[in-house]
A and B are shown apart, each in its own frame.
Chain A
Amino acid sequence: MQKVKSKKSILLASVTSIFLLLTGCSNDNAASQSTEGTEENTNSITLSWPRDIGSMNPHVYNPSQLIAQSMIYEPLVSYEDGGKIKPHLAESWSVSEDGLEYTFKLREGVKFTDGSSFNAEIVKKNFDAVMKNKSSHSWLGVINVLEKTEVVDELTFKLTLSEPYYPAIQDLALVRPVRFLGESGFPEDGDTSKGITEPVGTGPWVLEDYKKDEYATFTRNPDYWGESPELEKVTIKIIPDAETRVLAFEKGELDLIYGEGAISMDSFNYLKETGDYQTDLSEPVGTRTLLLNSTNEKLADLNVRLALQHGFDKAAMVEGITLGLEEKADNILSTNFPYTDIEVEPFDYNVEKAAAYLEEAGWNLPSGKAVREKDGQPLELELMYDKTDPIQKAMSETLQAEWSAIGVKLNLKGEELTTQIERRKAGQFDLDFWYNFGAPYDPHSFINVVAEKGWGVSEAHSNLPMKAELDQQVQEALASTDEKERQQLYGSILNTLQEQSVFLPISYIKKTVVYQNDVKEFIFPANRDEQPFNEIEKSQ
């Protein structure tokens, strides 16, 4: 009997302690919960984000999220519509004749949220911290050519480059790594790559409350130097699942779903069709492209590449697979980037023309066979795609069916993403999917990878007869200090690339946003990575 009693008491004690554990945690979080909801504060919005915002360190990458970094930290110059670079924390700047020295006049009266002043000293300290960890930033052009940083006077800062590089100023508009952390945010040894002590910036928002993997709340910076945002508060809820985001939005727990791939194409159209919400698509942020490797002996022939361009119904494929969320692309780079507004003759969908090109290249269809042959070799190619990407997979299957009609056998190979990148870099592929970088990285990052080896793009072009000339033009364009000359060089480079058809543009990728009816003035930021909250208003 005694034994039974003790068993019972153990059971009772366990259940009670589990209950306390559960309710205990509830009380802990109940307080923070009140900061999450939108009910108490009408001038605030709540949006979802797929990942935790991260450590809020302006000088590092993953897992910090660009959207949140750009709320707190600001650049010297900002990237505006059409690729115009506007003053931001720098009031003005000048570039020396030789294109090597950049002198910035810093804005006066700007304060960090720790009360310290924004001046040339702290700008240099930030640059030095970034340069300490140079290997992490070697992908960024300006870092590779940065030779010296100097404090000229309290509000004048100078950068010296080792060679002229016109996009240096575009690179300074990026969300990371060259944005500015206040003095009290630095660790003792000044090495921010290992962490910061607190997120101290000059930006319009201040991180008020944060719970890892759950939410982050930002409030308006009361001492902001620029125009204060209309909203008082922005809450970012971390919701990793796209369908859950839509359900939370429908219930009204979210005011906004924003970002690339933040919502499935089906859900976007479903929410749009209900008529109960506002939906919008941005200007193109990038191009979904196929890379046809010219080092493959079949693809080395321009006629084969042109046949592939004409041999499929691009408009129908893009509409059918992306449900109208992407737009058929004729240009390799969309025309909303600087220097990219060139006249392009679209490749129409024309099976006869495609067949004629193939015949001209010597690929004939033997009677009774479905695949063209030349010297006994079948016209067989392999398209490599990321096997976790449903759009790449669907497009690959469509192309396989479409091109079989012109006598091209397309084999599909789904690869693990890292393998896909590895194979691309080594140039070991026939056809592959490729995306450009978007604003503010393009068009200079785009032409850079056309010339520089190690990304797979230059490798894919390496069999073009004019490759050396193309590389030379790229070098000249990147070092050019003359606007007219640069425009002319870009025009020439892009025209050659369009004609040579190593890039086969498919569609323009766009950002999506869905928001409740009481949210007003949503404007997509020109910089792909920048936050969109400064202009948003909410009707009371």
Chain B
Amino acid sequence: MVIYLTKRLLAVIPIILFAIFLMFLLIRLSPVDPAEAYLAAANIHPTEELLAEKRQEFGLDQPLIVQYFQTVKKIVLLDFGNSYVTNSPVWQEVAARMPATIQLAVSSILLSIIVSIPLGFLSAVYKNSLIDHFSRLLSYLGASVPQFWLGYILIFFFSVKLDLFPVEGRGTWQHFVLPSLTLSLALIAIYTRLLRASVLEELEEVYVLYARTRGVKEKAIMVKHVLRIAISPMLTGLGMNLGKLLTGTIIVEQVFSWPGFGRFFIEAIFNRDIPVIQSYVVLAACLFIVCNLIVDIVQLYLDPRISWKGRTEY
């Protein structure tokens, strides 16, 4: 197990370095001059001398390869520099906004689990029934409706017309409902179909037939056996979507005025606040990598058929 984990962790390093390289390259390819962007954000009239001074301070006069290694070195030490706009360390700004984003992501995951497990399970058990059709419709909607539009529609009906929830902001549990619903609909669409398919697959297995012939109650077969096994692919999907979920909050945070990291990122784009943009890209990349790693490890732990030893040999 230790060898496997070490191998996997070591493999993460080149991937992260590559992600940093891509980020570095894309930022250098954009026409925005960081020195110019800094002075614009600080409301300083950019004279040639000031620009030259800032370019030197940011190391932009160094060869690209030197700049790249300096960037990597700083990122490894979690030094993303100071925001051009607020002048505070980016890390501090990000840390202050992360809890709000994590709360929203967690509540959306919980909501999607609560909805998709019963819905996916029932639509498999009662295949082609009304509930199956409904879940299919919901999945189509979830997969095709853009999040910002869904957000506005939910606000319009549930907040402006029915006055059930606040339009925007953060504070009480009511504030969680609409943004979580907006974020989780896409997840519900995926998980419901995933669970339905895997339940149907399990129902074909011999052990189900055997259990039935043994006279085990149908309810027990379904809940204790079928569902327990069928839920495994959904768990994988959940982990893989975690990174997507956190980055997906960008639009939802903007629409619902949620004071999180995603909204901060949007503002950074408009202000050309390069250190913040850089930190976001790196953190998002790390998040995806770490989530995939965790899913792999959890899967090994949950599925006794795959041995640690066996895995390491692949």
Contacts and interface: CB of A to CB of B under 8 A. Distances in A.
Nearest to A140: B45
A138 B41 contact: no
Given A18-B110, A240-B267, A26 B32 contact: no
B167 A214 contact: no
Contacts of B85: 62-63
A248 B86 contact: no
Given A418-B40, A419-B31, A25 B103 contact: yes
Interface string B33-48: 1001100111111110
Interface stretch (A30-38, A86-94, A298-306, A469-477): A30-38
B167 A253 contact: yes
Sorted from nearest, which 8 A-B pairs have the closest CB atoms? A213-B259, A61-B43, A29-B171, A248-B167, A139-B45, A33-B171, A419-B31, A251-B160
Interface of A: 15, 18, 21-23, 25-26, 29-30, 32-33, 36, 51, 61-63, 135-136, 138-139, 211-215, 237-241, 243-244, 247-248, 250-251, 253, 415-419, 421-422, 425, 454
Contact of B33 (A25, A61, A422): A422
Given A26-B172, A247-B155, A251-B159, A213 B40 contact: no
A213 B186 CA distance: 27
Contact of B30 (A23, A213, A416): A416
Contacts of B126: none
Given A29-B170, A416-B30, A62 B41 contact: yes
Contact of A212 (B30, B156, B259, B271): B259
Given A22-B103, A22-B107, A239 B267 contact: no
A416 B32 contact: yes
B202 interface: no
Label chain A's interface by main secondary structure: helix
Nearest to A63: B85
Interface in B199-258: 254-257
Contact of B36 (A21, A32, A243, A418): A418
B44 A136 contact: yes
Contacts of B86: 63
Given A62-B85, A418-B37, 6 more contacts: A29-B171, A61-B43, A135-B44, A248-B167, A416-B32, A419-B31
Given A62-B41, A212-B96, A240-B263, A36 B106 contact: no
B92 to A, nearest CB: 12
A211 B96 CA distance: 12
Nearest to B109: A18
Contacts of B314: none
Interface of B: 30-33, 36-37, 40-47, 50, 85-86, 96-97, 99, 103, 106-107, 110, 152, 155-156, 159-160, 163, 166-173, 176, 254-257, 259, 263-264, 266-267, 271-272
A244 B267 contact: no
Contact of B172 (A29, A215, A240, A422): A29
A33 B174 CA distance: 12
A215 B259 CA distance: 10
Contacts of A454: 45, 47
B169 A36 contact: yes
A239 B167 CA distance: 10
A25 B176 CA distance: 11
Given A136-B42, A253-B166, A22 B266 contact: no
Given A29-B170, A62-B43, A214 B259 contact: yes
A305 B187 CA distance: 57
Contacts of A21: 103, 106
B40 A244 contact: no
A139 B264 CA distance: 28
B254 to A, nearest CB: 5
B97 A213 contact: yes
User: Counting chain B CB atoms within 10 Å of each CB, which of A18, A25, A139, A243 scores highest?
Assistant: A25
24 contacts: A21-B106, A22-B103, A22-B173, A22-B176, A29-B170, A33-B172, A62-B43, A136-B42, A213-B97, A238-B257, A239-B257, A240-B266, A244-B155, A247-B152, A253-B166, A253-B167, A416-B31, A417-B272, A418-B36, A418-B37, A418-B40, A418-B272, A419-B32, A421-B40
B97 A247 contact: no
A240 B171 CA distance: 17
Nearest to A250: B160
A529 B133 CA distance: 56
B32 A240 contact: no
B31 A214 contact: no
Contacts of A240: 254, 257, 263, 266-267
A61 B267 CA distance: 16
Contacts of A62: 41-43, 85, 271
Nearest to A253: B167
B292 to A, nearest CB: 20
Nearest to B106: A18
A384 to B, nearest CB: 12
Nearest to B41: A62
A422 B36 contact: yes
Contacts of B107: 22
A63 B270 CA distance: 13
A61 B85 CA distance: 9
B229 to A, nearest CB: 14
Contacts of B156: 247
Contacts of A25: 99, 103
B152 A61 contact: no
B50 A244 contact: no
Contacts of B271: 62
A485 B208 CA distance: 100
A18 B259 CA distance: 19
A415 B36 CA distance: 15
A220 to B, nearest CB: 24
A10 to B, nearest CB: 12
A529 B257 CA distance: 24
Given A26-B172, A239-B168, A51 B267 contact: yes
Contacts of B30: 416
Interface centre among A135, A241, A421 (most CB of B within 10 A): A241
A248 B163 CA distance: 11
Contacts of A135: 44, 50
A454 B47 CA distance: 7
A63 B271 CA distance: 10
B28 to A, nearest CB: 14
Contacts of B255: 241, 243-244
B42 A22 contact: no
B155 A30 contact: no
A247 B160 contact: yes
A328 to B, nearest CB: 29
B170 A214 contact: yes
